[in-house]
Every structure is written in structure tokens, then in C-alpha cells.
Structure 1
Amino acid sequence: MKKRYYSTELKEQAVRLSYQRVNIKELADELGVEVQRIYKWRNAAKITTLPKAEKPIPEDTLELKRLRKALKKRNLNLKY
């Protein structure tokens, strides 16, 4: 059995249309692909387009960094 390759444009169009259509099976039949493949393309599109949320830095972490820096500076001054 020969492996089928689909263009990026077809995948993007199928994903876009799948969100506009009510019946994804009909869309899959029109495009000549399996329904599961459209769902896989949708999941892949979600993963690549979702930005990762940045974790806020807790205040105590910022305070700890400031205190370490001050302590390091103080220790350097005491050596001389």
C-alpha cells in the first residue's frame, strides 16, 4: 500500500473548514481523507498555534534575588 502525502495547504484548509462545518464526515468525504486524519490535523494545529503561558515570578523570588545580590556586594566590600 502506497503512503499518501498531503500538502500543508490542504491540511490548513481542512482544519479551517472543519471548524466551519457541522458534519466533519461529509468534509472528509469531499476531500478524500479519513475523518480521523482531520482530527489529527486539528490537534496538531492547536499544539503549534497555542502560545505557552508565561508563569509569573512570585514576589518572594524577586526579593530573594535582590537580597542575594546585596549580600554578594556586601561580602565583596568586606574583603578589601
Structure 2
Amino acid sequence: MKKRVYSKELKEQAVRLSYQRDNIKELADELGIAVQRIYKWRRASKTTESPKPEKPIPEDTIEVKRLRKALKEKELELEILKKAEHIFSKSDGKSTGL
């Protein structure tokens, strides 16, 4: 009997599908692979990397991060201006009233 060689892509896809489906035996039958082989591939994939479901990043989160960064920059600018006002008011004795 000839030994079957499976591509890396097929193995990865079979492992990914096995985590998404409830019945691994049905998946194995569809792919024409022994159930034990899928479990073996799952164990092998766990040692290399753990399967993590892909979660899309909500746009709100991205927007919040952008706004926080902009706020931090503006606060820094304001702090610099306040220090500059303090320095200039000391040097000539006049205040700009900011």
C-alpha cells in the first residue's frame, strides 16, 4: 500500500475546520481522511501554535485610539504654551493673559 502525503495547506484547513465543526467524523468522511489523523494534526498544530479565532477590530476601537493620541498631543502643546508664557512673563514683567 502506498503512503499518502498530504499538503501543509490541507492539514491546516482540516485542523481549522475541525475546530469550527461539532462532528469531526463527518469532516473526516468529507475529506476522505481518517479521524485519528485529524486529531494527530490538531495535536501537532497545538505545539506549533494555538488556534485563535480571528476577531475583527471594531472601528470604534480604532477611532478611540486615534482620538486619545490626538488629545495627548494637544495636551502636550498646551503644556508647552503655558511654560512659554510663564518664561516670557518673567523676562519682561508682562503677562499675556492665557
User: TM-score when scaled to structure 2?
Assistant: 0.50
1-structure distance, mates of 2:31, 2:10: 9
Shift of 1:49: 1.1
- Which consecutive aligned stretches of 4+ in structure 1 deviate over 3 angstroms post-superposition? none
Structure whose CA Rg is larger: 2
Tell me the residue number matched to 2:45. 45
Tell me the residue number matched to 2:8. 8
Mapped pair 1:34 → 2:34: yes
Shift of 1:20: 0.4
Equivalences for residues 69-80 of structure 1 within 5 A: none
Identity across aligned pairs (percent)? 80
Tell me the residue number matched to 2:23. 23
5+ residue gaps in structure 2? 51-98
| Structure 2 residue identity aligned to 1:32 | G
